[in-house]
Structure 1
Amino acid sequence: MNTPLLEIRQLSIAFKQGDQQRQVVNRVSLSLSAGETLALVGESGSGKSLTALSVLRLLPAPGVIYPEGDILFLGQSLLHAGERHLRQLRGNDIAMIFQEPMSSLNPLHTLEKQLAEVLILHGDKRPAAARRQSIIESLERVGIRQPGARLKDFPHQLSGGERQRVMIAMALLMRPKLLIADEPTTALDVTVQAQILQLLDQLRRELGMAMLFITHDLNIVRRLADRVAVMQNGHCVETNQTQALFTHPQHDYTRRLLASAPRGEPMPLAPDSPVLLELKRLRVDFALRRGWLRRGPAHKSVVRDISFTLRRGECLGLVGESGSGKSTTALALLRLLKSSGEIWFDGLALHRYRRRELLPVRRRVQVIFQDPHSALNPRLTMTQIVAEGLLVQGHLTAQQRDEKVKRVLVDVGLDPESRHRYPAEFSGGQRQRIAIARALILEPELLILDEPTSSLDYSVQSQILSLLKSLSRKHGLTYLFISHDLSVVRTMCHRVMVLREGEIVEYGDCGQVFDHPSEPYTRQLLQSAVLR
């Protein structure tokens, strides 16, 4: 047999906590050949991302690798390699797409500067114009519209999905031998997700590139992977060929994982439910930088004349491709973006309110953002993050706040005993649950959910969706649910609104839109979802 491109031998990882160590990965052994795709699946906190990070020696500071194990790349040990050798490998022979693009991109640098840096650091001495053309081609391949015009953009000017595509383009610039992809399509809508998966598979075949693909989406695994390794609580419980694992899983945990998927119907809605939120002709324009002669438009319209109502206890789904205006609409109705039009909440004309006047209303409206890493303060413990809203209210004692924090952590599937740990010690899915707990603890009337389950595995998705439904039933919560996962939207939402380039394409009852779409764009979205 040929020597594997990557071989992980008896890898064990622990986090230091004072004089003690908490083991999080236990004797994991994996191998990956050139041109092969190995999917690493399991629930949040199972050790998938830590295993991947250890390949490039990028574990967070408290993490240590036990000396009994080893990681070999092309037969050479990475655990015993010097920093100079590792710098040469990172981004060149081994590239990684991280789970959270906003924390991986420098907010102070343009896209061109950040992508050019990858080429320059690995010895590209071509003129700037040649490097720029390579960057444009790379961005175009991952689906960035008008890439030449976007080179001067900063990360905050891109949608979540667009930032993820930039990260993929950056990883593929040097055509690596091994690509480690940690949830690379989490923030992408279904149409772009299909394009990216096709692109990654095509590049793997063209370059003989191997992929270590970490994901919670089992449909992607079935479509893309040659082999699958299943992790649970830091152990690799099963490894097999993809088809064999899906048809004849051997381990009980694998069978439970395959059986879990979003299902069910939205909570019944009373026919006489009053309107809680109404938007009339909402419009959001972004100012554009203009040249010396002031030619061209001064503004770019990203949301145009959006109007809808949301009844108390209802769940409205917003779907559409990245950059279609979903998150912008949510930020505008929260008055976090300047907009025109009317915003009515429970009879209050929020579009007329000044910032100070909005403070009482903000207690009644909470939001869960798409990227849990950048939404959580890394210097605060989990209990400080979740209890922050209670502390602002100021009418509970420290003991009462702590008890309420423990209850809401149990509700979202987190261990209350871990509430004194920091965000860096949690997986991406666990951080998302912390963000959900922080929003739920104030028991709001309207909850805006911006991709709330995008980084969660199927089993935890089902728990969170069941939790949101039960909270809606118990407290009459109203949801504005933004998602690219159409199966989740169908499970949660009474009505759905399809956006494209800032305009409403289709709007109606969820069942009607999904079963009998009237617009070609909606049918395209649904077909892409089926292909997953």
Structure 2
Amino acid sequence: MNPTPLLQIQDLSIAFRQGEQVHQVVDSVSLNVERGETLALVGESGSGKSVTALSVLRLLPSPPVIYPQGDILFDGESLLHAPETRLRELRGNRIAMIFQEPMVSLNPLHSIEKQLIEVLTLHRAMTRDVARGEVLSCLDRVGIRQAQTRLKDFPHQLSGGERQRVMIAMALLMQPDLLIADEPTTALDVTVQAQILTLLRELKQELGMSLLFITHNLNIVKQLADKVAVMQGGRCVEQNRCLDLFAAPQHSYTRQLLDAEPSGSALPLPDDTPTLLRVEKLSISFPIKRGLLRRTVAEKNVVNGLNFTLRRGESLGLVGESGSGKSTTGLALLRLIASRGNIVFDEHPLHQFNRRQMLPLRSQIQVVFQDPNSSLNPRRTALQIIEEGLEVHQKMSASDREQRVIEVMREVGLNPEFRHRYPSEFSGGQRQRIAIARALILEPALLILDEPTSSLDRTVQAQILTLLKTLQQKRHLAYLFISHDLQVVRALCHQVIVLRQGEVVEQGHCEQVFSAPQSAYTQELLRMATL
């Protein structure tokens, strides 16, 4: 047995050079991943976790990235000093990576079938027919329902969780020696999360695969990791065996992470609070097209007969597994996709409005999307992104707009001095806060939040939840909160609707549903969330 660790990160420092300035983001980090072992890398957003992982395969652009000191060894071979031809041999074959944001990693112009089969034909020299069978088997293992019918779908036709499962399947097809997983379960509901964790454990055992697992979900760490490394501000502040770290954390920051679980409940509302949104018999379906002429041959029902009311200052949680229709419901309320049924917002019958009639109401209904990397324009600075709504809806001078941006960035926990940076220069969690700031700056009456905390670590989640409650109380904001994180929903929402495959399986007051769920499916969701 080879005693050398499969992956060795030795005294590594990483910095970004901007002109004459050098900004260090990782400082003297040393980590080992043994063969067949899982190392979990945890810490707050911006602590250097993803930058460290991306450096293993040298995926960061150089320049501006530089490595002032240290080295990364894979099976005894230096990766920092390896030529590009050697790195191409290792990437995808012996070292695979699952990225945090699947919409950026998947090609929007190619079907799922083409992208997955290409991996096997290029790297394992399989014929197309053999590769197709392997792809179907892998998609089934990662929880894609009716995989045979989904092969022709494009990435935009999948839910956020389904896209993430396709990315996991793509990485696992190569049966790598080392799998680097950067928040691979972020977009997944608790039931699918459990399936993926079980799958990763099985593959580890079958293949002797090592796993570098980056996450902010400490429940996952407890279930999966052998060792844990905690990062803060670019430094590794604590490393230990998983059980020992959870039983007796040594560093104050580790203790802070362990104590940062969502808690509390929704803010009370007066009984006479007026209704802001009324939804009646909302149904959504998509056409199924076949043949050379792409004729519609059937319809796929995505949401069926949804009814609810939402008062000013109230929060409604929409929960359910990936692909259950949660995000689709949000898009229908925004009138971005066609639907049937009634949508009445502030006495305006939105279901009867055309695009032009909707324009004056756009500022009153804002949205924060699940994937900030695809919803933020990479060619615009944070300042330009956040102030865009003001340019469209309000007449203000450039200096006044900038002042408003500075104020709202402070509110969401962003340093206003970073307002001239581009999205690529922020961490995943920071990008999500930019998206929240962009929505809040217009002071809407209704905010549709599509997994707004899914990419945030627990400490930042707590800050965002506190911020959302403060804003709700101050401005009487109503929230439609789409999430698979049941703890977050319980901490924020007054009502909850549980969806499964487009059908409402349970609906009612949040505390009532959580304390005494009637549906077997809701009971299973709650059971999985507490594992």
Counterpart of 2:25? 24
Instruction: Report the AA paired with residue 507 of structure 2.
Output: Y
Which 5+ residue runs of structure 2 have no aligned equivalent? none
Secondary structure, counterpart of 1:184 in structure 2: coil
Distance in 1 (CA, whole Å) between partners of 2:290 and 2:119 is 29
Mapped contact 2:449–2:480 kept (Cα < 8 A) = yes
Shift of 1:67: 4.8
Secondary structure, counterpart of 2:289 in structure 1: coil
Counterpart of 1:12? 13
Counterpart of 1:58? 59
Mapped contact 1:290–1:298 kept (Cα < 8 A) = no
Counterpart of 2:231? 231
Instruction: Report the AA paired with residue 137 of structure 1.
Output: S
Distance in 1 (CA, whole Å) between partners of 2:258 and 2:323 is 32
Q: Classify 1:351/1:120 alpha carbon distance in 2 versus 1 (closer, same or farther; 3 Å).
A: same
Distance in 2 (CA, whole Å) between partners of 1:476 and 1:168 is 41
Distance in 2 (CA, whole Å) between partners of 1:63 and 1:410 is 28
Distance in 1 (CA, whole Å) between partners of 2:65 and 2:495 is 48
Deviations 1:363-394 (A, max 9, x none): 10100000010010000011111111112134
Distance in 2 (CA, whole Å) between partners of 1:320 and 1:90 is 35
Counterpart of 1:274? 274
Counterpart of 1:94? 95
Q: CA RMSD, aligned part only?
A: 1.4
- Provide runs of 4+ in structure 1 moved above 6 Å: 292-296
Instruction: Report the AA paired with residue 111 of structure 1.
Output: I
Mapped contact 1:41–1:215 kept (Cα < 8 A) = yes
Secondary structure, counterpart of 2:429 in structure 1: helix
Distance in 2 (CA, whole Å) between partners of 1:406 and 1:224 is 41
Mapped contact 2:18–2:64 kept (Cα < 8 A) = no
Mapped contact 2:318–2:497 kept (Cα < 8 A) = yes
Shift of 1:123: 3.8
Secondary structure, counterpart of 2:144 in structure 1: coil
Q: Give the structure-2-normalised TM-score.
A: 0.98
Mapped contact 2:472–2:478 kept (Cα < 8 A) = yes
Q: For 1:334-345, list aligned pairs within 5 A.
A: 334-345=334-345
Counterpart of 2:283? 283
Q: For 1:338-487, list aligned pairs within 5 A.
A: 338-487=338-487
Which 5+ residue runs of structure 1 have no aligned equivalent? none
Shift of 1:60: 3.8
Distance in 2 (CA, whole Å) between partners of 1:474 and 1:62 is 45
Deviations 1:211-234 (A, max 9, x none): 000000111111111110011111
Shift of 1:173: 0.2
Deviations 1:89-123 (A, max 9, x none): 11110000000001110000011110111112214
Shift of 1:295: 10
Q: For 1:111-510, list aligned pairs within 5 A.
A: 111-124=112-125, 126-291=126-291, 297-510=297-510
Aligned residues: 530
Distance in 1 (CA, whole Å) between partners of 2:492 and 2:505 is 20
**Range with bigger deviation, 254-263 or 426-435:** 254-263
Q: Classify 1:293/1:260 alpha carbon distance in 2 versus 1 (closer, same or farther; 3 Å).
A: closer
Distance in 1 (CA, whole Å) between partners of 2:296 and 2:451 is 34
Distance in 2 (CA, whole Å) between partners of 1:256 and 1:508 is 33
Instruction: Report the AA paired with residue 216 of structure 1.
Output: H
Distance in 2 (CA, whole Å) between partners of 1:156 and 1:20 is 39
Q: Give the structure-1-normalised TM-score.
A: 0.98
- Structure 2 residue 527 is the aligned partner of structure 1 residue 527: yes
Distance in 1 (CA, whole Å) between partners of 2:221 and 2:66 is 28
Distance in 2 (CA, whole Å) between partners of 1:121 and 1:423 is 32
Q: Classify 1:18/1:526 alpha carbon distance in 2 versus 1 (closer, same or farther; 3 Å).
A: same
Distance in 2 (CA, whole Å) between partners of 1:109 and 1:299 is 23
Shift of 1:64: 1.9
Mapped contact 1:37–1:227 kept (Cα < 8 A) = yes
**Range with bigger deviation, 56-65 or 30-39:** 56-65
Mapped contact 1:13–1:63 kept (Cα < 8 A) = no
Instruction: Report the AA paired with residue 258 of structure 2.
Output: L
Mapped contact 2:17–2:66 kept (Cα < 8 A) = no
Secondary structure, counterpart of 1:24 in structure 2: strand
Q: Classify 1:293/1:84 alpha carbon distance in 2 versus 1 (closer, same or farther; 3 Å).
A: closer
Distance in 2 (CA, whole Å) between partners of 1:79 and 1:60 is 13
Distance in 2 (CA, whole Å) between partners of 1:205 and 1:490 is 36
